[in-house]
């Protein structure tokens, strides 16, 4: 299977990309050359169908962050590494004596250059260094190099930005462009191709949705038809509710549609999804996700995947909830406390992410997304089985009883 990669970079970078991949028949390049990295976001709006996106560096990638959020393909950028800087310095040394103290250089990460200087024992000879920030200005960068040249006419400029290279040429300042190294390029393009293949396998997975129509309002009778259309799903009415058979990729695409978001909000607490290797397992996972929403009184919608990890679809937290207890210790805690796997999963992430090992009922309630009373019931179960201890009290700023402070007594790492 061939992978189409969209390349965003200068004209020179795009041409080098063609040279680097001329022996790689499994890769198709779609070129989007620009003059300035700031042009990348507008070019992205003209993006044709592709499997992945590769930027020439962090600057066009960062400038495109907002646009990339709505593009459902993996995107990476070519990082500037020690090999690129070392190769550039070697190329300069082949044309003239390498005098670092007579050099001005801009880099994406100064630590990478510092590593090279340390490796070649150049502590006494140091160039003038400019670290490129996300919001760098071309004119300021040109001024940095031209000022260095004015102070020392023997100075040589080395730049990572193609537009700066062209400007310095116009000013008749000796300048070298940072060299894109073939090995680094191929490693990066291989990585983005692997991510593209992985994403394809994920999006093609069988998925099922279930809508509890027992609480569906009369004026929303057409909601199932809307969902089926937006999810590109086969819709059937069953005993459990209205079932939608689709793919995980179709669900992810629908999430970006305002119309789907509106419908999902209208049926909040009644719609859930599941994915799996078979239609049966996907349906079972969707039912489990729906039961979780009922038990925890969460609105959702959620998707339970084949690993039994629960993902919030409209309000991504970045943390999946584990709905099955694999670790023996957590299984033991579940048995003794009667706490659900979902709650135990959240407790484990709470112990890992909370800044202090000590917490109050309010802290736990905020993390679990429940009321303080529910959090207190959870703490009581942990206390009764010695999986938590009361370690002190926290005085309140207003009148009232001090708040108890607790600490978990089981490993969370």
**Global pTM exceeds 0.75:** no
What CA–CA distance (Å, rounded) separates 184 from 76?
13
Backbone CA torsion sign across 213, 238, 342, 195: negative
Which two three-digit tokens encode residue 286?
Answer: 């969707």
Both structure tokens of 182: 């073939």
Mind listing the pLDDT tens digit for each residue in 214-264?
A: 876 655 668 888 999 999 899 898 888 899 999 888 888 888 888 998 888
Residue 82 has pLDDT above 60, yes or no: yes
Distance in angstroms between the alpha carbons of the first and the last residue of the chain: 40
Percent of the chain with pLDDT over 90: 38
Which residues, in sequence order, are bridge partners of residue 6? 30, 53
Separation CA 280–CA 286 (nearest Å): 10
Residue among 34, 83, 65 nearest 188 (CA):
83
pLDDT score for 330: 72
- At 353-393, the pLDDT tens digits run 565 678 888 888 887 777 889 889 999 999 998 888 898 88
Positive or negative torsion for Cα 152, 153, 157, 161: positive
Length of the chain: 413
DSSP 28-73: EEEEEE-SSGGGHHHHHTTPPS-SEEEESSHHHHHHTHHHHTT--S
């Amino acid at each position: 299977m061939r992978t189409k990669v969209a390349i965003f970079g200068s004209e020179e970078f795009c041409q080098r990309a063609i040279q680097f991949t001329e022996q790689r028949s499994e890769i198709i390049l779609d070129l989007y050359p620009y003059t300035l990295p700031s042009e990348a976001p507008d070019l992205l709006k003209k993006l044709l169908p592709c499997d992945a996106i590769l930027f020439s560096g962090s600057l066009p990638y960062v400038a495109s962050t907002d646009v990339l959020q709505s593009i459902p393909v993996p995107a990476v950028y070519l990082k500037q590494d020690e090999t690129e800087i070392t190769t550039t310095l070697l190329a300069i040394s082949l044309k003239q004596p390498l005098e670092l103290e007579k050099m001005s250089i801009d880099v994406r990460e100064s630590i990478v250059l510092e590593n090279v200087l340390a490796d070649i024992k150049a502590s006494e000879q140091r160039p003038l260094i400019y670290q490129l920030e996300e919001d760098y200005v071309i004119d300021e960068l040109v001024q940095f190099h031209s000022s260095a040249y004015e102070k020392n006419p023997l100075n040589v400029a080395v730049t990572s930005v193609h537009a700066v290279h062209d400007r310095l040429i116009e000013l008749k300042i000796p300048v070298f462009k940072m060299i894109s190294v073939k090995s680094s390029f191929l490693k990066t393009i291989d990585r983005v191709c692997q991510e593209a293949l992985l994403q394809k396998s994920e999006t093609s997975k069988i998925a099922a949705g279930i809508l509890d129509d027992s609480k569906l309002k009369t004026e929303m009778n057409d909601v199932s038809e809307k969902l089926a259309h937006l999810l590109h799903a086969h819709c059937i009415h069953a005993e459990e509710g209205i079932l939608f058979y689709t793919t995980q990729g179709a669900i992810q695409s629908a999430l970006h549609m305002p119309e789907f978001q509106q419908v999902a909000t209208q049926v909040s607490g009644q719609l859930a999804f599941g994915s799996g290797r078979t239609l049966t397992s996907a349906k079972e996972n969707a039912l489990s996700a729906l039961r979780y929403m009922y038990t925890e009184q969460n609105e959702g919608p959620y998707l339970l995947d084949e690993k039994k990890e629960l993902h919030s679809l409209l309000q991504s937290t970045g943390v999946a909830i584990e709905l099955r207890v694999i670790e023996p210790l957590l299984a033991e805690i579940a048995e003794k406390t009667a706490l659900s796997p979902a709650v135990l999963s959240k407790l484990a992430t709470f112990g890992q992410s909370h800044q202090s090992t000590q917490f109050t009922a309010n802290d736990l309630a905020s993390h679990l997304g429940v009321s303080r009373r529910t959090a207190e019931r959870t703490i009581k179960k942990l206390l009764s089985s010695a999986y938590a201890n009361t370690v002190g009290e926290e005085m309140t700023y207003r009148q009232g009883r001090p708040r108890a402070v607790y600490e978990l007594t089981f490993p969370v790492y």
